[in-house]
Every structure is written in structure tokens, then in C-alpha cells.
């Protein structure tokens, strides 16, 4: 089977709220968050190789400029090779829609989809626990995408409990700046000692994104966009930004806001999903691979 190619989705996420309860000795922060997966994301294409070579290419200029060994699909594939000794390789093509440095978890999601697909394509038989543990070495947001469900997250984001929320519509604005997650987590003015909350507290609205004041101060464009979106619905930052979102019951309401977004910002409308669309595709891929011989 010389040029066997599979395509799989890599969804974006929103942090519906983000609290920091402590800082660990290694500098990482203990979080509470609600990861909401979306039906908006990147498409990844994987072509099997039999020679251990890994390549990754993207449609996006910013990713093309990244040294190839820093790209997260490449790193995920390399990590799997190192941990399993497989003799397979892969060519990966990334059709990028999720903005970089947007707080939408695009890089982490790409890494997770790569782990999930290569586990099948390379016939590695690793469990989801093993993939999530490996993924955590690549980024704190990788495990939620490996698990593939919207979830209440604790620890540094790897302790996950599935949560089924109403599948609302989200209008997500990217205000044209890229925020470094590390820079925000290092900011001396970041609040790091919030008391833990419960899911019930979240449902009654007693939650914030604790990074929002820091990001709004450093990036006036984010502040401006949050003000603008708040005229329609309460608006909030996702992750460490730069994207912000508002929630709507009807798709038409979200689309109406999207139509009015000032031209200097980009915007998309997406539906919340309990289960990652990547996992639905993966089930189909497993069936397909089952019928293909000679891999
Ligand atoms: C802000 C969130 O997006 C919320 O979902 C994530 O916590 C960030 O996840 P991520 O982008 O996968 O983060 P990583 O690539 O693991 O870490 C980037 C940098 O953010 C800081 N970081 C990240 C996660 C965390 N719980 N505490 C941290 O202090 C660390 O300085 C790290 O060097
Ligand atoms: N495949 C990839 N897709 C996106 N970013 C990548 C990828 N590979 C490496 N990166 C690097 O990772 C950085 C952060 O990526 P990402 O877009 O996931 O940030 P983010 O949306 O802020 O994520 P998070 O919410 O997890 O903090 C990018 O600026 C880029 O340099």
C-alpha cells in the first residue's frame, strides 16, 4: 500500500472560563477550566511512508516559517516513533484554519489528531491513556483533544471530566494579534490564588477568565474587540487569547453579529460539540484500515 492517505479533522476549543488556583514548583499553573470543543478546525492529511521519514507542510505562511522540528504534528509523530520504535514514517499536510496564538488550542489539537491517526495508521495499539500521557509532553491542551470530549479540566489541564453542555452557537473574533501563552502566564500581575469553584458555580455564572485583565492591558486591540462584542452578548477571552467569543442559542443570531464585525478583525461562527468530530472520523478510519491489507 504505497500511497495510502487519510484525512482527519483537528477541532478548535474554547475555554468557557479559566481560573488559576495555584502555581506549581516547575512554574506551571494549576487551572480550572471548561473546555468546549467546536465544529470548526483544521484538516490534516496523512500519507503513510515505509522509510521512517517524517515531513509536515502547512498552507499557512506563519507555520511555514517555523523550523520544521518545532511544528507540533512533526513533534507528535517523532514522539510516537521514539516511544514505539516503529519503522513507518509519514507525510503530513496541514490545511490551517485555526488562527495561531489565538487561545483556540490549534497546535495542541493538531498534535492530538496526529497521535490518534498515527496510532491507527502505524498499527501501534497504544491506549488513549498512553496517548494522552505522551501528548502532555507536547502541551497542556493536548490531552483534552486526545480524549475528544468537552470537559471540566483541572491540574494543568490534563485532569478531565466529561461535561455535556447545551450545544450553543459561538461567534469567535480574532482581533489580529498573536498572544504568547508563556508571556501571559509569566506576568507579575496575574492572579494565581483563586479559590476552587464547582460546576454548579460555573452554571450560575460565578466565573471569569483570569488572564483577561492582563491580556487586555498588554493588547489594546483585544480590549477594543471585547468592548465591541459585549454590545451583543457577554464576551470573554478564550485561554490566554487573543480570540474572544460570545454565546448564542441560534445560529442566525451569531451570524448576524458576524456580519457586523469590523473589517480589521476576522471572525467565525461555530457550533459547540460534546464529542470531537475527529473521533467520529477516527471510528470510520479504523473500519477502513480494517479492510485494507498490506499496511
Ligand atoms: C491557556 C490554555 O490554553 C488553557 O486551555 C492552556 O493552559 C495552555 O496550553 P498550551 O498552549 O498547550 O500550553 P503549553 O504549550 O503546555 O505551555 C506554554 C507555556 O504556558 C505556561 N503554562 C501553560 C499551561 C499551564 N497550566 N501553566 C502554565 O504556566 C508555561 O509557561 C508554558 O511554558
Ligand atoms: N501545527 C501547529 N499549529 C499551530 N501552531 C503551531 C503548530 N506547530 C507549532 N505551532 C506553534 O505553537 C504556537 C502556539 O500554537 P497555538 O495556535 O496552538 O496557540 P494557542 O491557540 O494560543 O493555543 P493554546 O490555547 O493551547 O494556548 C504557534 O504560535 C506556533 O509557533
- What is the bridge-based pairing of β-strands 266-273 and 169-174? antiparallel
pLDDT digits (tens, 9 = 90+) for 3-38: 789 999 999 999 999 999 999 999 999 999 999 999
Name 38's bridge partners.
Answer: 272
| For ligand 2, atom 18: residue with the closest CA | 107
| For ligand 1, atom 7: residue with the closest CA | 140
Helix (H) or strand (E) holding 22: strand 5-23
Q: Does the Cβ of 114 fall within 6 Å of ligand 1? A: no
pLDDT confidence of residue 126:
98
Query: Does residue 293 have a pLDDT over 70?
Result: no
96 included as an active-site residue: no
Domain count, the chain: 1
Mean pLDDT of the chain: 95
Place of cell 483585544: 222
Residue 168 φ/ψ region, left for φ over 0, alpha for ψ in the -120 to 50 degree band, beta for the rest: beta
Tell me whether residue 101 is annotated as binding.
Answer: yes
Catalytic residue, from 13, 39, 96, 129: name it: 13
Ligand 1: residue of 185, 187, 245 to mutate (most ligand atoms within 8 A of CB) is 185
Where residue 37 sits, what CATH number does that domain have? 3.30.230.10
Tell me whether residue 56 is annotated as binding.
Answer: no
Whether the complex's predicted ipTM is more than 0.85 is answered with: yes
pLDDT confidence of residue 289:
85
User: Ligand 1 centroid to 240 CA: how many Å?
Assistant: 9
pLDDT digits (tens, 9 = 90+) for 92-125: 999 999 999 999 999 999 999 999 999 999 999 9
Tell me whether residue 11 is annotated as binding.
Answer: no
pLDDT confidence of residue 252:
98
Query: Does residue 294 have a pLDDT over 90?
Result: no
- What is the bridge-based pairing of β-strands 29-49 and 266-273? antiparallel
The answer to whether the CB of 122 falls within 8 A of the CB of 84 is yes
| For ligand 2, atom 25: residue with the closest CA | 103
pLDDT confidence of residue 59:
85
Place of cell 518545532: 70
How far apart CA 65 and CA 292 sit, in angstroms, is 36
pLDDT confidence of residue 39:
98
95 included as an active-site residue: no
User: Ligand 1 centroid to 189 CA: how many Å?
Assistant: 17
Q: What is the pTM of this model?
A: 0.96
Tell me whether residue 106 is annotated as binding.
Answer: yes
User: Ligand 2 centroid to 288 CA: how many Å?
Assistant: 30
**Full residue range of the structural domain in which residue 260 is found:** 1-295
How far apart CA 203 and CA 198 sit, in angstroms, is 9
pLDDT above 90: percentage of residues in the chain:
93
Amino acid at each position: 500500500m504505497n500511497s495510502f492517505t487519510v484525512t482527519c479533522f483537528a477541532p478548535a476549543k474554547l475555554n468557557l472560563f479559566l481560573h488559576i488556583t495555584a502555581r506549581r514548583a516547575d512554574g506551571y499553573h494549576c487551572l480550572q477550566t471548561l473546555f468546549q470543543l467546536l465544529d470548526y478546525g483544521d484538516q490534516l492529511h496523512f500519507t503513510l511512508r515505509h522509510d521512517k521519514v517524517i515531513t509536515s507542510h502547512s498552507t499557512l505562511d506563519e507555520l511555514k516559517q517555523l523550523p520544521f522540528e518545532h511544528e507540533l504534528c512533526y513533534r507528535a509523530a517523532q514522539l510516537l516513533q521514539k516511544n514505539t520504535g516503529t519503522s513507518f514514517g509519514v507525510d503530513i499536510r496541514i490545511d490551517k484554519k485555526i488562527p495561531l496564538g489565538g487561545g483556540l488550542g490549534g497546535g495542541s489539537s493538531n498534535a492530538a489528531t496526529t497521535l490518534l491517526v498515527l496510532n491507527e495508521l502505524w498499527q501501534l495499539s497504544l491506549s488513549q491513556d498512553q496517548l494522552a500521557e505522551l501528548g502532555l509532553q507536547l502541551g497542556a491542551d493536548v490531552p483534552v483533544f486526545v480524549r475528544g470530549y468537552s470537559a471540566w479540566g483541572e491540574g494543568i489541564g490534563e485532569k478531565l471530566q466529561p461535561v455535556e453542555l447545551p450545544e450553543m452557537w459561538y461567534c469567535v473574533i480574532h482581533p489580529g494579534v498573536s498572544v504568547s501563552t508563556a508571556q501571559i502566564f509569566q506576568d507579575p500581575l496575574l492572579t494565581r490564588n483563586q479559590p476552587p469553584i464547582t460546576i454548579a458555580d460555573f452554571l450560575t455564572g460565578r466565573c471569569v477568565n483570569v488572564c483577561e485583565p492582563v491580556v487586555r492591558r498588554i493588547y489594546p486591540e483585544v480590549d477594543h474587540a471585547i468592548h465591541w462584542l459585549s454590545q451583543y452578548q457577554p464576551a470573554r477571552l478564550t485561554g490566554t487569547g487573543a480570540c474572544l467569543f460570545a454565546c448564542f442559542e441560534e445560529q442566525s443570531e451569531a451570524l448576524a453579529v458576524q456580519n457586523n464585525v469590523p473589517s480589521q478583525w476576522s471572525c467565525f461562527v461555530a457550533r459547540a460539540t460534546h464529542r470531537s468530530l475527529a473521533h467520529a472520523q477516527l471510528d470510520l478510519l479504523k473500519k477502513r484500515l480494517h479492510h485494507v491489507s498490506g499496511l
